[in-house]
Structure 1
Amino acid sequence: MNDRFLKACRRQPVDCTPVWFMRQAGRYMSEYQKVRAKYSILDVCKTPELAAEVTLQPIERFPLDAAIIFADILLPLEAMGIQLEFAEGEGPVIRNPVRDRADVERLRMVDGDELEYVAEAIRHARRALNGRVPLIGFAGAPFTLASYAVEGGGSRNYVLTKQLMYREPEAWHRLMDKLARVVTGYLRRQIRAGAQAVQLFDSWVGCLSPGDYAEYVLPHVQLIFDGLKREGVPMIHFGTGTASLLRLMREAGSDVIGVDWRVHLDEAWAMVGYDVAVQGNLDPVALFAPLHEIERRVEDILRRADGRPGHIFNLGHGILPNTPIESVEATIEMVHKLSQR
């Protein structure tokens, strides 16, 4: 098996830097577009055979070092009683947002049976991968899930989310505790179904100050990583816009810190400490640049990693729709070739 991704997560030496991309199974691939022409995103997520098929599409096409299960971060919210729709061109829309203590109390605590289809997709994908590369499971982090639930969808300023946090801190911590416990059980179930690493996506947490992160978020993320340590798989913690939060994110207890493109990789690694691996951090828009410019940026990231064990090459967020497929392929090959030990 190609295990350089798992070795890098554990800061062990590798023959070259492993690479995978967030949203590597997705809209930029014609294979994925054909599946989505027939099925909604929720249909794909909830049909284990389809989710596994989409998970493998980039692995069949590119020399990637890991697969990530195809799912959506909001699936646990739906299981907890949130009415979730994916409106065309709008992204996720929530019809019954969480706005007060009563709404928080109404959310169901689920133990994972409602999300068994994701575990089943992992089993299908592991069989189909047949040991070629490791499979990553994932979940949304409590703050990002909470912000979707409170705002009713995506947001620019997170006014409603922060209002709940500041005005009703008890209700906020109850919401975060519920989400943290559901996410812990959900990720544990993914690991036991065969996920060989897991990533916690805190996509929107960069809207918080360090003080707010420490008070309103950190204890709940610690609960998740503490709850999963015994499972023995690498745990990745990723957020965007988090340059000011990296030291606190390190305290949460993951094995790998994901870094976005708004901070230099070497500066981020120095902040979190060399006893943790790092993942990142090419700007996803760089994949639209000419190949010589992509190569310059790949070289810069690898130079900043300095050959230190524990670097996983990735984007600073997910692959964007319409990303040129040849740029994805070329970037993977550049990383492997330029980092050969």
Structure 2
Amino acid sequence: MSTLQNDLLLKTLRGEQTSRPPVWMMRQAGRYLPEYIRIREKYSFFERCQTPELACEITLQPVDIVGVDAAILFSDILVVPQAMGLEVQLIEHKGPVLPDPIKSNADFARIRVPDVDETLGYVFDAIRLIKKELNGRVPLIGFAGAPWTLLCYMVQGKGSKTFDEAKAFCYTQPETAHQLLQMITDTTIAYLRQQIHAGADTVQLFDSWGGLLSPDDFAVWSLPYISQIVAAVKDEAPVIVFAKGAWHSLEAMAATGAQGLGIDWCISASMARQFAGDKVTLQGNFDPAKLFAPIPVIEAETRKMLRAFGPGRYIANLGHGILPQVPVDHAKAFVNTVKEFAW
């Protein structure tokens, strides 16, 4: 195991002092990079995920091209429902489709809590390969989808702006919904543990649809399951929780013991810090669409963000994934502005 040459991210998650904040971008491995698009033209989505050599190449691209302080595993949150027994199709430019979603208790005959080594071994193989190829340059972030977000896809069967069918499922069949959430949670704990054992230095939990729930509902349908995962994993590697739009629950998420909390651009740095307290690292929250602005504007806005968060316990990132049409030199301008910044 080579020692890390750049451990800014891990130091920041541990609350240690650094000369500048670390920077990486959600969805940095992928669709805005011409090098990725060339691979995408040759291989289907799941071929890219399930072939360790391809996943490795894609994971390393932003480290080599954009110069970020961390690599994040190239994969997808929907590999977990797939491992649990549901069919998942990913249609380019359209998004995920689960043709046979969960509608009632009877559908549990089709899903299970799998042996993750058997069903997701290709992910762990990819992590081992990535770690070897990174050779200690930067840490590797593993990840999984949070149970509530996975339930949304497993019940709705496709992407949605509101996921009203998934919510209706919870409100009309609460026992069944909790049973499904627990199965996803058990699978995710095993999955993240194995990612860490394979070499992931830290893991992030994505609750992409957490913001669709009211604070009270978030406390019922999302938080208890996130808490279980954090409790099971946080002593093995630092955990970052990113529940997009659920900033109302930052205080409750900080109480899980997660070392980092991601935030989107709809909350100010000072308010996020006030809610989350000072015992947790904040990550975010540049609006990805702002990367379309002229480069001098990107640089000025990035510095403004860094000053707003202030020194210590802060990771510079976007407030959500980078958008496909963002010019690579604009992404670099964001990253370089952070790297040139000193407290």
- The TM-score with structure 1 as length reference comes to 0.97
Contact between 1:280 and 1:312, CA under 8 Å: does it hold in 2?
yes
Inter-partner Cα distance in structure 2 for 1:286 and 1:49: 33
The question of 1:172 aligning with 2:177 is answered: yes
The question of 1:318 aligning with 2:294 is answered: no
Inter-partner Cα distance in structure 2 for 1:228 and 1:209: 27
User: Residue 241 of structure 2 aligns to a residue in which SS?
Assistant: strand
Inter-partner Cα distance in structure 2 for 1:88 and 1:59: 25
Match of 1:68 among 69, 72, 75: 72
Inter-partner Cα distance in structure 2 for 1:242 and 1:216: 12
Letter in 2 for 1:24: Q
Pairwise CA distance, 1:292: 2.1
The question of 1:306 aligning with 2:291 is answered: no
1:141 equivalent in structure 2: 146
| Cα root mean square deviation, aligned | 1.1
Match of 2:275 among 271, 275, 278: 271
2:334 equivalent in structure 1: 331
2:15 equivalent in structure 1: 11
Inter-partner Cα distance in structure 1 for 2:337 and 2:208: 27
Pairwise CA distance, 1:250: 2.0
Q: Deviations over 1:112-143 (max 9, x none)?
A: 12001000000000000000000000000000
Match of 1:84 among 64, 74, 88: 88
User: Residue 313 of structure 1 aligns to a residue in which SS?
Assistant: strand
Q: Deviations over 1:243-279 (max 9, x none)?
A: 2222222233311000101111221011011000000
The question of 1:49 aligning with 2:48 is answered: no
1:227 equivalent in structure 2: 232
Contact between 2:86 and 2:110, CA under 8 Å: does it hold in 1?
no
The question of 1:126 aligning with 2:131 is answered: yes
User: Residue 230 of structure 1 aligns to a residue in which SS?
Assistant: coil
Q: Deviations over 1:169-188 (max 9, x none)?
A: 11011010000010000000
2:196 equivalent in structure 1: 191
Inter-partner Cα distance in structure 1 for 2:164 and 2:78: 20
User: Residue 18 of structure 2 aligns to a residue in which SS?
Assistant: coil
Contact between 1:219 and 1:252, CA under 8 Å: does it hold in 2?
no
Match of 2:25 among 21, 28, 38: 21
Identity among equivalent pairs (%): 45
Inter-partner Cα distance in structure 1 for 2:108 and 2:160: 20
Q: Deviations over 1:221-247 (max 9, x none)?
A: 11111111331x110000211222222
Instruction: For structure 1, list consecutive stretches of 5 or more residues without a partner in the other structure.
Output: none
Inter-partner Cα distance in structure 2 for 1:230 and 1:291: 40
Letter in 1 for 2:228: L
Contact between 1:104 and 1:171, CA under 8 Å: does it hold in 2?
no
Q: Deviations over 1:276-310 (max 9, x none)?
A: 00000100001000122212221221111121x11
Inter-partner Cα distance in structure 1 for 2:277 and 2:267: 15
Letter in 2 for 1:206: G
Letter in 1 for 2:34: S
Displacement over 4 Å in runs of 4+: none
User: Residue 285 of structure 2 aligns to a residue in which SS?
Assistant: coil
The question of 1:39 aligning with 2:34 is answered: no
Inter-partner Cα distance in structure 2 for 1:65 and 1:324: 19
Inter-partner Cα distance in structure 2 for 1:229 and 1:64: 24
Counterpart mapping for 1:277-292 below 5 A: 277-292=281-296
Inter-partner Cα distance in structure 2 for 1:267 and 1:275: 15
Contact between 1:242 and 1:260, CA under 8 Å: does it hold in 2?
no
Letter in 2 for 1:315: L
Letter in 2 for 1:251: A
Letter in 1 for 2:186: R
Inter-partner Cα distance in structure 2 for 1:150 and 1:225: 24
User: Residue 235 of structure 2 aligns to a residue in which SS?
Assistant: helix
Pairwise CA distance, 1:105: 4.8
Inter-partner Cα distance in structure 1 for 2:42 and 2:235: 40
Inter-partner Cα distance in structure 2 for 1:303 and 1:128: 34
Inter-partner Cα distance in structure 2 for 1:111 and 1:210: 34
Letter in 2 for 1:192: H
Contact between 1:104 and 1:174, CA under 8 Å: does it hold in 2?
no
Q: Judging changes above 3 Å, is the alpha-carbon distance between structure 1 residues 313 and 124 closer, same or farther for their aligned structure 2 residues?
A: same
Instruction: For structure 2, list consecutive stretches of 5 or more residues without a partner in the other structure.
Output: none
